Structures are given as C-alpha cells and as structure tokens.
Amino acid sequence: MHLFRGSAVSLARSLIVLIVIITASGCASLREDPTLNWSASQLYGEAKAALDAGNYEQAVEYYELLEARFPFGRFAQQAQIEIPYAYYRAGEPEAALAAVDRFVQLNPRHPNLDYAYYLRGLINFNRDQGFLTRLFPMDPAEMDTKPLQQSFEDFGRLINEFPDSRYVEDSRQRMIFIRNALASHELRVAEFYVERQAWVAASQRARYVIERYQGAEVMPQALAILYQSYRALDLEDHAENTMAVLELNFPEHAEAARAGRPITVGAEAGGLRRWVERLPFFAN
C-alpha cells in the first residue's frame, strides 16, 4: 500500500511538472511571435520593407502570414504579386513558379499581369545556372534545356499578349539570348556526333539547328557541319547545295568549310552569360 501511494505521488508530481513545462512553452511561443496582433497593413509593410532590404526569406515569411491571416483585401492581393519575386530571390524557383501561376489564375484581369508573365520567364531563365555558365559541357547530349525552352515561351507569350508592356524589350533581348544558347547546345551535340563520325546523326542535328534557330549566331557552323556530313555520306548534290547556301549567306566562312577547317563565330564559352547579365531587370 505504501509503495502504491509513493508511485501515485511521483506520478502526480510528474504531471504537474509536465503541465508547467507546456504552459511555459505556450507562453514563450506567444511572446516569441511579435506579429500576433499585427494588422494586414502592418504585415504588408514589414514584408515589403524586408523585400526592399534584400531579406527575402523574412519577406516570404511575412507574406505567407499575411495571406494566411488576411486572405481577402487589397493587401493580400498585392502580396500575391510580390511573393513570387520574394521566393525567386530566396532561391526557391518551384515555389516562385507556383505562386506566379496562382496569381495569374486568381487575377486574370489584373493590371500587372504582364509583370507576372515576365517574372515567370525570368524564373525559368535562371532555374539552371549551370547550363548558362557551362554552354559547352563534355557530354552535351545530357543537358536539360527545358527551363530555357519554357522561358522562351513565357517571354513570347508576354510579347504577344502585351505588345506595349514595359517588359517587352528586355524580354525580346532575352529571347535572342535563349535562341543563341539553345542553338549552341544543339551545335555541340552535332559536333559530338562529328567527333565520333556518326554522320547521319550529325547531319540531322545540324539540320535541326538550321531549321529551328534561324538567325542564331552559330548558323555558319551548322551549315559547315551539314556540308561535312553530306560529303562523308557521299551525298555530293546535298553537300553542294548546302555550300551554296553558306556562300550566299556567310561567304567569309565558305573557304574554311570547304577545307574542313573549324569556323569560329560568336563569343567564347560563357560569353553569352556575361552578355545577358548586363540586361536590366524590372522589379514590379
């Protein structure tokens, strides 16, 4: 009986200690949340201040609190257009894209819809920094170009739907960069096949560059590879037709192509990246 009474006392003491700990933790958590009684305008103001100061993770936290506590009203709507940029600068591209898509879906007639399309293109444009800084990898066939392709489509949609937007010129310049970057990637794949004397594959890839990326900087190299591939495949008529196109459009490179010498056009590896970094970014 004495043993039972002692166990009961110990259990009661443990429960009291546990209740005190839980209560103290609850009070501490309330004290640790300075935003608990903030209004929507104060939450938005702090979020915007954090965003402007470059404290993007803090801005995301405040924007999320604003949308959770005050899902309706002008501050919540403004948060919806600003939080994608905060996610983007915080290094969370997937969350940024999801936030952009959510904003477009909820606000199909918003006056800043052009900015949403521009931001979507920019997020995809920078999703894979590795690709943009290493245009010429050892095995180009394994490169993932989907983010740049999606970015090209995003910027194109902006230009088509909002031709008078302030973001059009910057978007157009980025599309030129993307076209040249994707063409350079495809050319490296063609060169990869040339190095292995896989002439059919090389000719197909060179034709793809010529047909899909009209105006790209690497067009002379693509024509030269196509000419070289046709010669190797004993398709002399095709080779001479290709050479005629090269001589007409890029006469300064025709002699080198006939002699089988390498043709150099455009910036060195990484040069496109450095060029595009000089483009402006227009924050909303």
DSSP 132-161: HH-SS-SSGGG---HHHHHHHHHHHHHHHH
| Confidence band, pLDDT 50/70/90 cuts, at residue 35 | confident
CATH 3.30.43.10 is the classification of domain 34-110: no
Least confident of 44-58, 80-94, 105-119, 269-283: 269-283
| Confidence band, pLDDT 50/70/90 cuts, at residue 12 | low
Angle between helices 199-212 and 168-195 (to 10 degrees): 170
- pLDDT 10s digits, 173-203: 999 999 999 999 999 999 999 999 999 999 9
Read off the pTM: 0.74
| Confidence band, pLDDT 50/70/90 cuts, at residue 10 | low
| Confidence band, pLDDT 50/70/90 cuts, at residue 222 | very high
Say if residue 90's pLDDT is above 70. Answer: yes
- Residue 8 burial (CB count, 10 A): 10
Q: Which two tokens mark 4?
A: 């039972």
CATH 2.30.250.10 is the classification of domain 179-259: no
Q: Residue 111: which of 81, 141, 146 has the closest Cα?
A: 81
The pLDDT score that the predictor gives to residue 260 is 85
Of residues 121 and 132, more confidence is placed in 121
Fold match, 34-110 / 179-259: yes
Where do the domains of the chain lie?
34-110, 179-259
| Confidence band, pLDDT 50/70/90 cuts, at residue 220 | very high
